[in-house]
Amino acid sequence: MSDELSVESRISPPSLSCPRCDNLLPASLGELKCSMCGAEVKVDHPVTKRKWREEKVGCPNCSKVLIAGVDRRPANLQCSSCEIHFELRVNRPKIEIACPSCERKLRMNVRPGKREITCPACDTEFKINF
Q: How far is the CB of 26 from Zn ion (least distance, A)?
A: 11
**1/21 with CB nearer Zn ion:** 21
CB atoms near residue 43 (< 10 Å): 16
* Nearest by Cα to 29 from 39, 17, 14: 14
| Cβ-based nearer residue to Zn ion, 29 or 119 | 119
CB of 46 or CB of 120, closer to Zn ion: 120
d(CA 31, CA 25): 11
Contact with Zn ion (CB under 5 A) among 47, 82, 98, 108: 82
* Chosen residue from 2, 10, 37, 54 binding Zn ion by CB under 5 A: 37
Q: Is the peptide bond before 14 cis (omega within 30 degrees of 0)?
A: no
Cβ–Cβ under 8 Å, residues 88 and 68: yes
Please tell me the distance from the alpha carbon of residue 47 to that of residue 17, in angstroms, as a whole number: 18
Measured distance CA(106)–CA(115) in Å, rounded: 13
21, 67, 98, 108: residue in contact with Zn ion (rule CB under 5 A): 21
Q: Is 67 in the site for Zn ion (CB under 5 A)?
A: no
For binding to Zn ion (CB under 5 A), which residues are involved? 18, 20-21, 34, 36-37, 39, 59, 61-62, 64, 79, 81-82, 99, 101-102, 104, 119, 121-122, 124
